[in-house]
A and B are shown apart, each in its own frame.
Chain A
Amino acid sequence: MERFYTLVFIGGVGCFAIAFLLSMIFPWMSLESFHGMDYHTLEQLAEKPSVEFVQLEQRFPAAFKEHYGEVSPASYAKALQRGRDVYVGQACWHCHSQYVRVVSNEHVRWGPPSSAQEYQNALNQPHLWGTRRVGPDLAREGGKKSNDWHIAHFINPKSVVPHSVMPPYPFYFDEKGVPNEDGFALITYLQWLGTVQAGIPVAERVTP
């Protein structure tokens, strides 16, 4: 039993492979093959720019033109990807989760529970589920708040949520509150969250 090759190939590779098969290949197969879920590329997701993206252009025409030009699938895709990059780089996902569970009344607070199909797209690769909720879950965030609310909240969270512990992110906006490239991107990304699922966003029944 304590032979070198036993340890390397049965203990090391073998046991790892069994776990790899059971906890990775099996769920992958049952999600993709058996349920036939489609994968959406960034271009497919960005085919129709969101209302909020158009509103950003109308609200800040000059700044928008400077950073993103016209509202188009291409500029929407660029903003979504960049917004996700900022979200990842600033570790937003370590304080905000992105999935609604079927327990703890989460459907009441945030909306329909998450399904696997929602995450089969380029903006969830790797997924941003998170493991901690210091702030609220964001899986159903898109469309719940206005762009202006998000701007005020990013510049100083306490101005709209008095007991918030979220740090301010004033560096994504100029002194008049006009977003810069990252500011536009972050808001566009947040307003996209949850819009893959039909029937989302839902009206809130509880203050999140």
Chain B
Amino acid sequence: MNATTALGTHGEPLVNYRLIKAHLTAGAIALSISMIAGFLYALQYVGYYPLGHDNWMLTPGHMRFLHTNMAAYGWLVNGFTAMLYYVVPRLTGKKVLSDKLGELIFWVWQLILALALFGYLTDKAQAIEWGETPTGFRPGTWELNYVPVDLLVVIGAVLVIVQFMTPIYHARDQKFYVTLWYFTTGLVWLALTYLMGNIMPEWMLPGAAGAATTGLFIHDLVGLYVTPMGWGMMYFFVPLILKKPIWSHSLSVIGFWALAFFYPLGGVHHFLISPIPDYVEFGAITTTIAIEVVVTTVVVNFFMTLRSKWSALRTSMAIRWFYVGAVFYFITCLQCAFQVTWMFQKVIHFTDWVVGHAHLIMFGVFTFWLFGVIDWLWPRVCRREWYSNTLRGWQFWMWSVGVLIMFFDLMIAGLVHGYMQRDLNDWSDILRMSEPFWWVRAFSGVMILIGLFCQLYNMYMTAKAGAAYQEDKHYVPANAD
């Protein structure tokens, strides 16, 4: 099968590049909104209010809603959907259910983002972290006060599931590659997770039981949607670009079942040493440490695959994004195994440490992997070569260094805050000690923004004025090294 023009049994093209392009573009725009909002939020920590502070719609709190939700629902969902349009038809040999449905999904999803964005600015957010999409109802009542965005997300998610589960279902007699395992279960999990997280704490469970559920929701959203999509994507693109099979299929299968079993069990670790019963917390701590083992199998598998192809790190930008992301991934997950213990929690919970951790996983890992996919896909989607290799380099270095600076800065800031809090320092002193770290964070934010604008400009110019596309140029030579 030719890598660029996959054909079905009757010679029809399998992949709809128009939808991929649309989703990647929308994802890049959402990422920009998220990054700009995040940067404004960072500036407000050091006392600058570029938007003024007399407007109730443009407050820092609203910027935070935009930052996190546009990153999750705007950037990652659009990016992963684009990636699914490329990968699923290739692995199953079948088209997705319908191109018309694809356009519907695209517009429903952008409508959700626009409505959520306006809802956040007008105080309509729901009190569920990472699930702030407005319910549309006045809390505790059935009176509508806004568009029920939650309901639209459920509809959007169901449409996505129908769209991609259909080809997977029709290919059920074939032997599934591990990527399809992740996508199949990931799509099931997506629906269950979103329903659980947005319905149960809001309508059924108050207080501590609700906290256990929202903890599970935050965790499952990352662990059961973002992670399966990210790993599945890596298992597909790494062997494709390196032109060699994954090192160990058995290890990838162990990784899959261990993820499925252990990952969702760790949910409560977002609220440790809290009124949630201790036995539930201990269960979450133990399984979270077990996840580190799972992650190690996956990371080992990726790096053993790269063995004897190290030069691909130089010759292929996508591989570089993937593997730097994989290193970051290992760091984040190793950190996770420690920070989940009570010993760490009593110091680092509620501090910037957690913020640094979240930034590395969202922007250092899954964003890097998606950038790798964009680097690979965008020339194929546009049928043009990248406009500027220099800009690709700048994007890579700005993001890598920026994210690392932010990570270490916030980690140290978290320790300072945590110990000062424990030692009963005056709260104002904690803020004064944190301020230099917040300046460094704002600086790293500038680097990330520069990297982002390099990418946006490069994507735009590639689509508009890139040189004609050459198929062979993009492959790593079979016998490199």
Contact = CB atoms under 8 A, between A and B. Distances in A.
Contacts of A190: none
B274 A129 contact: yes
Contacts of A95: 61
Interface in A18-37: 18-20, 22-24, 26-28, 30-32
Contact of A128 (B127, B176, B283, B421): B127
B65 interface: yes
Contact of A119 (B59, B208, B224): B208
Interface stretch (B264-272, B319-327, B378-386): B264-272
B440 interface: no
Contact of B280 (A27, A103, A109, A120): A27
B61 A23 contact: no
A161 to B, nearest CB: 6
B206 A124 contact: yes
Given A127-B201, A136-B427, A85 B123 contact: yes
Interface string B54-70: 11100111101100000
Given A3-B172, A91-B125, A125 B205 contact: yes
B207 A89 contact: no
B297 interface: no
Nearest to A133: B350
A101 B274 contact: yes
B274 A8 contact: no
A199 interface: no
B421 A104 contact: yes
Given A109-B424, A171-B55, A23 B185 contact: no
Contacts of A16: 188-189, 192-193, 220, 224, 264
A97 B271 CA distance: 11
A187 B196 CA distance: 32
Contacts of B196: 20, 24
Interface in A186-208: 206-208
B203 to A, nearest CB: 8
B424 A24 contact: no
Nearest to B170: A4
Contact of B428 (A89, A131, A161, A169): A161
A39 interface: yes
Interface string A100-141: 011111001100001110111110111111111111100000
B interface majority secondary structure: helix
Nearest to B202: A126
Contacts of B211: 119, 127, 129
Given A23-B212, A207-B427, 11 more contacts: A8-B188, A16-B193, A26-B280, A31-B209, A85-B139, A104-B418, A104-B422, A126-B206, A127-B207, A165-B431, A167-B60
A103 B346 contact: yes
Name, among B211, B224, B279, B435, the residue most crowded by chain A CB atoms within 10 Å (CB to CB). B211
Contact of A7 (B60, B176, B351): B176
A163 interface: yes
15 contacts: A7-B181, A11-B181, A19-B220, A23-B265, A88-B123, A88-B125, A90-B61, A102-B273, A125-B202, A126-B202, A127-B208, A129-B274, A131-B129, A163-B428, A168-B53
Contacts of A84: 139
Interface of A: 1-5, 7-8, 11-13, 15-16, 18-20, 22-24, 26-28, 30-32, 39, 42, 81, 84-86, 88-95, 97, 99, 101-105, 108-109, 114-116, 118-122, 124-136, 161-165, 167-171, 206-208
Nearest to A86: B123
Given A19-B267, A167-B49, A121 B260 contact: no
A31 B260 contact: no
B454 interface: no
B260 A23 contact: no
B208 A27 contact: yes
Contacts, number: 261
A169 B456 CA distance: 35
A13 B422 contact: no
A99 B274 CA distance: 7
A81 B139 contact: yes
A23 B287 CA distance: 12
Given A13-B188, A207-B427, A23 B216 contact: yes
Contact of B351 (A20, A101, A133): A133
B277 A127 contact: no
A136 B377 CA distance: 47
A117 to B, nearest CB: 8
Contacts of A20: 196, 216, 264
A2 B179 CA distance: 11
Contacts of B283: 22-23
A162 B44 CA distance: 16
B275 A119 contact: yes
Interface in B24-66: 44-47, 49, 53-56, 59-62, 64-65
B284 A7 contact: no
A132 B273 contact: no
Nearest to A34: B277
Interface string B309-348: 0000000000000000000000000000000001001110
